[in-house]
Chains A and B, each alone.
Chain A
Amino acid sequence: DAGITQSPRYKITETGRQVTLMCHQTWSHSYMFWYRQDLGHGLRLIYYSAAADITDKGEVPDGYVVSRSKTENFPLTLESATRSQTSVYFCASSGRVSEKLFFGSGTQLSVL
């Protein structure tokens, strides 16, 4: 089905491990985003991408790495996971900046 899909849906890992969260969209949207959602902080932008091979930092980029070699994929890597990175991570996309945002179903990540 067309849309934006995230995997895995749930992930448990240990402190210090590398973790990659996947995001795939089928609309050929130019813009893709990674947000984390935490109680008390709401939604915060981690990284975004305006096109393939163009990425930029958001509000809370430390400890995260992104890449976008293809328009449809925008993986998020936690290089060395910390407990403070326990959160729900959402990927989103839009055709143009400030158009409607389409969100994936999220990845619930627990770092033990």
Chain B
Amino acid sequence: KQEVTQIPAALSVPEGENLVLNCSFTDSAIYNLQWFRQDPGKGLTSLLLIQSSQREQTSGRLNASLDKSSGRSTLYIAASQPGDSATYLCAVSPGSARQLTFGSGTQLTVLP
């Protein structure tokens, strides 16, 4: 059974800092990996989706990388802002709708 781990569970950084969030998974037979953002009391918003054949995806100040062989993905946030404060979750898919597996998330706080 796929297990997805996100460490640390919480992270606090000063505004302007570059930061990296980590996601690890136990089964490398994945189809793709998604990073989501969840604001308090809200649903999840998909930030980036990386196909298994890709190494990274970029959107604005966000860059996600994927290393299938080591079972790891990172989400890099450049020049962090207070508005980036949220919980970030990763999810891996083996290509089956039933088996999308989510991590527990990293709660990020960016201090002004």
Contact = CB atoms under 8 A, between A and B. Distances in A.
A103 B45 contact: yes
A45 interface: yes
B44 A100 contact: no
Contacts of B31: 98
Interface residues of A, number: 22
A74 interface: no
B44 A101 contact: yes
Q: What bracket does the count of chain B residues touching chain A fall in?
A: 20 to 34
Contact of A98 (B42, B95, B104, B105): B95
A103 B97 contact: no
Contact of B43 (A42, A50, A57, A104): A104
Contacts of B95: 97-98
A98 B98 contact: no
B34 A101 contact: yes
Interface of B: 31-32, 34, 36, 41-46, 49, 89, 91, 93, 95-98, 100, 102-105
22 contacts: A33-B97, A42-B89, A42-B104, A43-B102, A45-B100, A56-B98, A57-B98, A58-B98, A92-B43, A97-B93, A97-B95, A98-B32, A98-B100, A100-B49, A101-B34, A101-B36, A101-B91, A103-B44, A103-B45, A105-B43, A106-B41, A106-B42
